[in-house]
Amino acid sequence: MICPSRVGSLALAAALTAVAAPAAPADALADDLERLEEAAFQAAAERVAPSVVRIESVGGRALPGAISPGTGPTTGLVVDPRGYILSNAWSFQHRPESILVQLPDGRRLAAERVATDYNRMLVLLKVDADEPLPVPAWAPGETLRVGQWALAAGRTFDAERLNLAVGIVSATGRIWGRAIQTDAAVSPNNYGGPLVDIRGRVMGILVPLSPESDDQTAGTEWYDSGIGFAIPADDLADIVPRLMAGSDLHQGRAGVSFRQGDLYTGAARIAACHPNGPAYRAGLRAGDVIAEVNGRPVRRAAEVREAISRLYAGDEIRLAALRDEERIEVPLALLAEIEAFDHPLLGLLPMRESPAAEEGGVVVRSLLPESPAAAAGLLPGDRLLALDGEPVVDRAALADVLSTRYRPDQVVRLDVVRDGQTLAIEVTLGRLGQVVLPESTAPARLRDDELPLEGPPTGLVEMRVPELPNDAWAFVPHTYDPAAQYGVLVWLHGAGGPDREALLDRFGDRCARDDIILVVPTAQDDRWRTAETELIERLLDRVTTRYSVDSARVVLSGEQQGAALALASLARLRGRVAGVALFDGMVPVPPPQNNPLYRVAFHIVVSRAFPAAAPLETFAERLQEQNHPVLLRHRDEDVLSDADAEALVRWIDVLDLL
């Protein structure tokens, strides 16, 4: 790009404007820079183009979702001259009957799926070409700089030409260390294609990813948003040979959980150690503080999560942990799936009023029939003072200790006060996943006839969140007593919006009887959208700050399409929702994993005429396999009856069982 005449004119201009600001030459340089950049984009695209192929698929399952995979063409990148092509797993999750790879010269070849990497959403394909296929140049990881040019290339519109998007590298080490982030437009138009630098060297492969979810469709909602991800080329060097071996790769799990809020603060203290997980079997326990992963010191839970989520099931790691002053170092092999957790259970319902402070403990409200607690001889009215010598603070703390420190079939000692006497009773813990909920129980609290004169509003209460467009109201029992604790029932309506009169008629008296606040938002556009999970969170925030809420009895209930929002909100509100009720719901998502820290019960109602009854019943089975407590009901009519409301409210009333 050396041009003597221009250099000459620059010199001349500079000489003429020696005193004034040299604006004109700077402008010319800027103009020239533009052209040079444009030429560089095109040259970079040309360099990588021979390795970028177009991929089409035939057949496969139809999948629900706003953006559906597999229907349009997708992109792949040659990673080995013998015909290995890497693409994104999202575009193949419909399991196509056949896959066709179209080379840049237009030839189509049948491709086989070799293996899938579910941790990084990659898929490796193989074609038999007559000649070696061209492999691209790779950009070494250490050359990556945030702010440098990044070109996202796809081959989806035309077989003969790339489609390009230009942006910069926005960040490295994203999605728990797995991805490069770019602001170039990334979408189904270029998933599976390369992210290249200005020299046309491949920095990574574009895939949909989300930091919040490992779900297979996560991240597609961010298409063309300025947030796109690519799996770094350096990591591909390790991954591709593993995929060539033909076995699928899954994210490795150690089976340790940290508290959601503790990820970036404080030490990496294990909040729960999954009893069926590798860490527990290697001897780690809740309360241990992880100090090293594979010899590298870690200070925060987030660092542990990042170090482990980069790895695959089958990988062996060494964890060093501190227990009090003692240092424990254990080797363990990560697992893809950990056998479902089952919450240990005493089998009793607690009273909800806290006993006078000097007494402490939890009073037994009633016993589940044939439960471990009943078998051990506990009686209603017993006051639980200590569990294996540790004082019982309140019912929430007792539930937490049971789930995080104990396993089913373990024998525990309860110190119990009965008629002024202290007894020690041994109980063999049962399983929450196998519990049969009782039909009726004793009152959960003694009612005070004298209600305070002042308090938050009761009856029909406006609940609109000021910044959001949705209508929302709540029904708070007129007998509201700030000294008691109230369950929350969020009702997410189905087709036609919420019928206020019908809801009040079904739930009004029952909510008053069982201390429940009913919250009813309205979808903005008749149909619920996933983004409205924010509304649910904000509504819960509002109710919780204004009223006395029992977190063990917060329930999201969704009718038809509202069911999908209830499930989506559950993912967002882990630890704040104790139960989910689904009335004739479409359930596109896989059931949530059972987790020692977050106990969730399910109430599923299927109408005789509901067309998607089978998938919903399968969903209930999957939940049971995960050891979630599930109540499955069938009904004749698809309208909310008195029986439906009664069953739901009774179920909410026993959600705080221990």
Partner 1 sequence: MALAGAACLSGPAGAAAAAPAMLAPIASVQPKLVKIYGAGGFRGLEAYQSGMLISAEGHVLTAFSYVLDSDAITVVLSDGRRFSARLLGADPRIEVALLTIDAQSLPHFDLTAAAEVPAGTRILALSNLFGVAAGNEPLSVQQGIVSVQTQLAGYRGVFETPYQGPVYVLDAVTNNPGAAGGAVVTRDGRLVGMLGKQLRNALSGTWLNYAIPIGELRYSVDEILAGRLVVPDSRDDASPADPLSPDALGVVFVPEVLERTPPFVDLVRPGSAAARAGLAPDDLVVLLDDRLIQSVRSLRTELARIERIDPVRLTVLRRGELLELTLFADPTREPRP
| Segment 210 to 229, residues that bind partner 1, using CB under 8 A | 223-224
| DSSP class of 261 | G
Q: How far is the CB of 569 from partner 1 (least distance, A)?
A: 22
Site for partner 1 in 224-263 (CB under 8 A): 224
For partner 1, the closer CB: 91 or 594: 91
Virtual torsion, Cα 278, 280, 282, 285, nearest 10 deg: 140
- Does position 632 interact with partner 1 (CB under 8 A)? The reply is no
If one asks whether residue 531 binds partner 1 (CB under 8 A), the answer comes out as: no
Which span sits near partner 1 by CB under 8 A: 114-122, 182-190, 282-290, 400-408? 182-190
Does 15 sit near partner 1 (CB under 8 A)? no
Q: How far apart are CA 102 and CA 157, in angstroms?
A: 12
* Angle formed at CA 67 by CA 64 and CA 69, multiple of 5 degrees: 75
**Burial of 280 per CB tally in 10 Å (0-12, 13-18, 19+):** buried
In the set 15, 18, 19, 30, which binds partner 1 (CB under 8 A)? 30
Q: Which of 50, 60, 141, 443 binds partner 1 (CB under 8 A)?
A: 60
- Applying CB under 8 A, which part among 71-79, 248-256, 473-481, 576-584 lies near partner 1? 71-79
Phi, psi angle pair for 91, to nearest 5°: -70, -5
Work out whether strand 579-583 and strand 549-559 pair parallel, antiparallel, or are unpaired. Answer: parallel
Dihedral sign for Cα 312, 572, 510, 632, please: negative
Angle at 514 between CA 511 and CA 515, to 5 degrees: 75
List C-alpha distances in Å: 461 to 109, 153, 466, 498, 509: 64, 53, 14, 15, 16
User: For partner 1, how many residues bind (rule: CB under 8 A)?
Assistant: 65
**CB-wise, 49 or 570, nearer to partner 1?**
49
Q: How far apart are CA 284 and CA 330, in angstroms?
A: 8
SS3 of residue 333 by DSSP: strand
The residues facing 153 across adjacent strands are: 164
Interface residue with partner 1, options 48, 51, 53, 73 (CB under 8 A): 73
The stretch among 53-61, 80-88, 113-121, 390-398 that binds partner 1 (CB under 8 A) is 53-61
109-128 residues near partner 1, rule: CB under 8 A:
109-110, 112, 128
Is 59 near partner 1 (CB under 8 A)?
Answer: yes
Closest by CA position to 566, among listed 516, 615, 603: 603
Largest interatomic CA distance in the chain: 106
Q: Does 13 bind partner 1 (CB under 8 A)?
A: yes
* Of 30 and 453, CB closest to partner 1: 30
Residues 302/177, Cβ–Cβ less than 8 Å: no
Check binding of 195 to partner 1 (CB under 8 A): no
Q: Name which of 10 and 504 has its Cβ closer to partner 1.
A: 10
Contacting residue, 15, 19, 61, 611, with partner 1 by CB under 8 A:
61
Q: Is 639 in the site for partner 1 (CB under 8 A)?
A: no
Give the one residue of 78, 125, 165, 519 binding partner 1; rule: CB under 8 A: 165
C-beta of 193: minimal distance to partner 1 in Å?
12
Sign of the torsion formed by the C-alpha atoms of 634, 636, 641 and 646: negative
Q: In the complex with partner 1, which residue's Cβ is closer, 71 or 410?
A: 71
Contacts of residue 528, Cβ cutoff 8 Å, sequence gap at least 6: 492, 561, 562, 564, 565
Shortest distance, position 506 Cβ to partner 1, whole Å: 32
Task: State yes or no: residue 469 binds partner 1 (CB under 8 A).
Answer: no
CB closer to partner 1 out of 200 and 361? 200
Residue linked to tokens 């209830």: 566
| Rounded least distance, CB 159 to partner 1, Å | 9
Strand pairing report for 601-607 and 316-323: unpaired
The minimum distance between CB 44 and partner 1, in angstroms, equals 8
Binding site for partner 1 (CB under 8 A): 3, 5-6, 9-10, 13, 20-21, 23-28, 30-35, 37-38, 41-42, 45, 56-62, 65-69, 71-73, 94, 97-98, 100, 108-110, 112, 128, 152, 157-158, 161-166, 184-185, 187-189, 223-224
